[in-house]
Structure 1
Amino acid sequence: MQSEQASRSEPATSLRRLIDDSNALFSAVHVLLFCRRAVAKYRPGINQTRETMITQSERRIATIAAILDGARKLFASRGFAETSVDAIASEAGVAKGAVYHHFSSKEEIMDQLVDAVQADLAVEVRKAARRGKDLADSFSRGVLKYLLIATAPAAKRILFVDGPVVLGWERWRAIDDRHFSVLVRGALEAHLREQGMREGKVQAIGQLVAGALLESALVCATSDKPERAARDMTEGLMHLLGPLLG
């Protein structure tokens, strides 16, 4: 009899399990649909936030570029001392507060400008050097390009007149070494090592040549005829280096 009752209860138990499983499935589907609606509701906000972040980043880059471009024009024409932050803001088309938001001081602007001008200069020197027929010709072309561009009105005041005074020689030399001196010395010193010259002498010649280049640039920057001075300095330097580069 107990077996008969158990047999009759099995369908009921199975039905209850089916109902429970159906309820669980319904709840799961309900939760899934709720989550999908929630994601769909907030996704535009998420995308908008991303777009806003990109726009802000682009705006920041554009503002900094405008400030540096404006300062570059004014520093080259008026000089550092005669250029105010107000003038830079006006030239850049931004508020004075925007200048101080991105730069702590006018000196920081000069620091970044010297770095940028030197970087641009290094690119042009490399291009000129690649046209050389041999090492000596490449060296000569690179030096002449450096002196011509560095002492042009748009660059010489920033690089050789105000730059060293505002930044100090230590900082100025660090920037120059990173972009130009290492570039020129690298090719020369590599050549001297290939000739079997001892390392101490290689380093000494590299330092002497870097000093000669700096002095040449300073002479050209203060010359009444900078282009003629650049060519004379290049010819003189190559005359001295000829035996080493031959």
Structure 2
Amino acid sequence: MGNGRPTRRDMHAELTRTAVLDAARTLFVAKGFEATSVDEIAQASHSSKGAVYHHFRDKQAIFAEVFRASQADVMQAVLPGALESMPGDASPWEQALLAISAVLRCYVHNHDARVLLRESASALGWDRKQTVDEELALPLLRGVLGELIEAGEIVAVPVGVTAELLYALLSKTGPIIAAAADPAQAVSEIEPVLFALLNGLHREPTQPARQTKRLGFARPQTAEEAAP
């Protein structure tokens, strides 16, 4: 009977899968999706081609997981630090804008994330790229919108459709930054326009809050968690 602990075979399989993804990420960033072969990924990860296909259906499936991890890493690397560095009296609305700004600026400093974002549309196709992004972003947006409504910081809008519309807006910012010759300049142009649009949702609280509440930015889902 199993005791619930991973077997040596399970651990070896997970190590192989991780090695494949690490090697693939390095190659995709250095050479691009089209110029990278499964043979090269197998060689770079010290795995057999059969082992690669045991874990992933094809090269596109490998890229999808690499891209998902890259996008999740951007949020995981930025949001906790952004929240900790915010002024103690920052309102929930100010926290939301500061968090968005932190994510945008992360692309300025993260070369690999920019490259993978540029490659994603051609590697995955628009629909699949959008699915990966939505699985990460929509739960986060729904949660933050709900908290902002509860705090009286934005008008009482339907959370579901508003999250979809905000995702459509925010999802355009990353590719613009990734394609820019000067990513920092792109962010400086995007932010005032983006915040002017978002401010249409904002309303001043009727009464000052007695205690500033920190927004609960959710951890991005893993591929396994997002699977139906």
- TM-score range with shorter-chain normalisation? 0.7 to 0.9
Alignment equivalent of 1:168, drawn from 95, 120, 125: 125
- TM-superposed CA distance for 1:148, in Å, is 2.9
Map of 1:157 onto structure 2: 115
The percentage of counterpart residues that share the same residue type is 27
After superposition, the Cα gap between the structure-2 partners of 1:70 and 1:178, relative to the gap in structure 1 and judged at 3 Å, is same
Structure 2 distance, partners of 1:170, 1:209, is 18
TM-score in terms of structure 1 length: 0.68
Query: Which moves more between the two structures, 130-139 or 108-117?
Result: 130-139
Task: State the 1:79 CA deviation.
Answer: 0.6
Match of 1:26 in 2: none
**Going by fraction, where is helix more abundant, 1 or 2?**
1
> How far 1:66 moved relative to its partner?
0.5
1:183 is aligned, of 133, 140, 155, to 140
Deviation at 1:206, TM superposition (A): 3.4
Q: What is the aligned residue count?
A: 195
Q: Which has the higher contact order (CA 8 A, sep 6+)?
A: 2
Distance 2:95 2:25 in 1: 30
> What secondary structure sits across from 1:224 in the alignment?
coil
Q: What is the CA distance between 1:134 and its match in structure 2?
A: 2.1
CA contact 2:155–2:201 (8 Å) conserved in 1:
no
**Separation in structure 2 between the aligned mates of residue 87 and residue 80 of structure 1, nearest angstrom:** 12
Which residue of the partner structure matches residue 140 of structure 1? 97
Which consecutive residues of structure 2, in runs of 5 or more, have no partner in the other structure?
205-228
Instruction: State the SS of the aligned residue for 1:244.
Output: coil
What do residues 67-92 of structure 1 show as CA deviations (whole Å, max 9, x unaligned)?
Answer: 00000011112110000111111221
Compute the displacement of 1:217 (Å).
1.4
Counterpart-to-counterpart distance in 1, 2:161 and 2:50 = 48
2:17–2:55: 8 Å Cα contact kept in structure 1?
A: yes
C-alpha separation between the residues in 2 aligned to 1:106 and 1:123? 26
Find the structure with the greater CA-based Rg: 1
Q: Which runs of 5 or more residues in structure 1 are unaligned?
A: 1-45
1:58 matches 2:11: yes
How big is the alpha-carbon RMSD for the aligned residues of Structure 1 and Structure 2?
2.8
Q: What residue number does 1:71 align with?
A: 24
Q: What is the Cα deviation at residue 123 of structure 1?
A: 1.7
